[in-house]
Amino acid sequence: MKKAYLVFFLPLILLINQCKAPNGPEPIEEEEPISEEPLEVPGNPYNLSASEDLFLDKIVLSWEMDSVATSYEIHRSETEEGEFLKVGSSDSLGFEDYTVSEPEVPYYYKVRAVSSDSVLSEFSEIATGSLYRFKLSWYFEVRQIDTKSSLHIGWIRSRYADHYELYRSIGDSLNFELISTQEEYIFEDEGLTPVVDHYYKMRAWNEKVGYTEFTKAIKSYPYEEYQMTKMMIRPGSEEGQLHNPYGISFDEENNFYVSESGGAYRVQKFDENGVSKGIVAEGYTPKGIHLTKDNSIIVAFSGEGVKEFSAAGKQLKAWSRDTFNSREIDLDASGNLYVADITNNMVRKFDKNRNLIKSWGPVVGALELQGLSGLEVIGEQIVVSDKSGIWFFDKTGVFQSRLNNIDWVVYITEYDGFLYLSKRFEVIKMDYSGKIYARIKVNGMLNPTGTAFDEQGKLFVMDDESENYSVKVFEKRIN
């Protein structure tokens, strides 16, 4: 059995040996080791910036990079020295962080680059950003409108405001009610009750963050409203016309008398419709005029003193020429005459027999009258005006008080407990405390001077403006 195996395998062994290399077994070649190239580290981001107080709901980051990076990691901390946590990533040179919530609070950021092999760069320098606090602007105003019983409310547009809410309280109750929701930042509150305090406050609204705080409440009041109902008498030097009208006074029959201080140098009488009833006095530059109870006419002339005329135009009396440049005049209940002397800035007091019994000014304590013009006797007080304000004296010239919120008043009229003060462009209605009730004006009325009321309570105003000489009639509008 063994011989049979040997016979079978021997030829096979010989064949294998013939196939071997003649020089013996080949050496095994060793593989060359593979050399690994080092991974490239990306450059560091630089010039990192973060938005500050610009956006309501996000902080916007941007940076620069010289080398190529696949993406960037954004890290944030609430303190500069605190732990920075990853808040997002970006494949561009910018990022918007919507995960912050507190306005005007600093947030600290740094960024690093990520290569395609996920190699990280060093962090950039730290940048600080913050959210904008939704708030109102500093400006909120309530302003009176001169000729209307309305109030103008205005404010500066607030950034990111979708709309504004305006609230009002009438009187001192401070029970505010919403009166307007609007996108505009002006509002005119019309048809109000005159000379009643109105309080206003407002707030803004944004759909993302809600309401701002309210403004502080501002108080104001609307003026009384007067409208011009008539303009009468044309300018000119002929009888029935007007040239430089100054003073005005009514008699008991509702006729009015007008002094014309330039050109015509006269006093004319008109009926209530402005129809001339003749010239009743003449003289150089008549200014102040006053009708007595018996309808005699007292006129202050510049350069000719004060004279009294009968209703028919006959001169009856003359006062001292010391009142060289007189303006407004008035009588008290005892018949004493008071004259505003603009040249000497003094008040002259004459008795009914035309004797000068008292003068005062220009120095009044530590103050001084300058540009004295208007004068009105009101009970036991003498009220005068100069360029600085309204002065109150007793009948002996003792100074009592002064209002300095109205300047350059040229004419004073008292009616129904109020002062009517003529100055450039307007007649101001004011109480004795200085509170203004109305600003009476109209386009084209440039230089109002004398004022007086007829028996129906209509206000007649002389307009002494070149080419616009006229009498303008105003009535109070009742809401």
Determine the residue type at 434: G
CA distance 299 to 327: 10
Tens-digit pLDDT profile for residues 24-73: 445 545 555 555 667 788 999 999 999 999 999 999 999 999 988 999 99
Tens-digit pLDDT profile for residues 88-103: 999 999 999 999 999 9
Determine the residue type at 387: K
pTM of the full predicted structure?
Answer: 0.81
CATH 3.40.50.150 at 46-129, yes or no: no
The rounded mean pLDDT for the chain is 90
Residue 67's pLDDT is: 87
CA distance 136 to 205: 10
pLDDT at 2 over 90: no
Residue 333's pLDDT is: 94
Q: How many CB atoms lie within 10 A of CB 376?
A: 22
Architecture of the domain defined by 140-220: Sandwich (2.60)
Average of per-residue pLDDT across 418-438: 97
Domain ranges of the chain: 46-129, 140-220, 226-476
Residue 304's pLDDT is: 83
Query: CATH class for domain 226-476?
Result: mainly beta
CA distance 54 to 362: 61
Tens-digit pLDDT profile for residues 114-149: 999 999 999 999 999 999 999 998 899 999 999 999
Tens-digit pLDDT profile for residues 348-388: 999 998 899 999 999 999 999 999 999 999 999 999 999 99
Q: Can you give the length of the chain in residues?
A: 479
pLDDT bucket at 252, cuts 50 / 70 / 90: very high
CA distance 210 to 204: 8
pLDDT at 428 over 60: yes
Tens-digit pLDDT profile for residues 218-239: 999 999 999 999 999 999 999 9
Three-state SS letters, the chain: CHHHHHHHHHHHHHHHHHHCCCCCCCCCCCCCCCCCCCCCCCCCCEEEEECECCCCCCEEEEEECCCCCCEEEEEEECCCCCCCEEEEEECCCEEEECCCCCECCCEEEEEEEECCCCCECCCCCCEEEEECCCCCCCCEEEEECCCCCCEEEEECCCCCCCEEEEEEEECCCCCCEEEEEECCCEEEECCCCCCCCEEEEEEEEECCCEECCCCCCEEECCCCCEEEEEEECCECCCCCCECCEEEEEECCCCCEEEEECCCCCEEEEECCCCCEEEEEEECCCEEEEEECCCCCEEEEEECCEEEEECCCCCEEEECCCCCCEEEEEEECCCCCEEEEECCCCEEEEECCCCCEEEEECCEECCEECCCCCCEEEECCEEEEEECCEEEEEECCCCEEEEECCCCCCCEEEEECCEEEEEECCEEEEECCCCCEEEEECCCCCCCEEEEEECCCCCEEEEECCCCCCEEEEEEECCC
Q: Do domains 46-129 and 140-220 have the same CATH topology?
A: yes
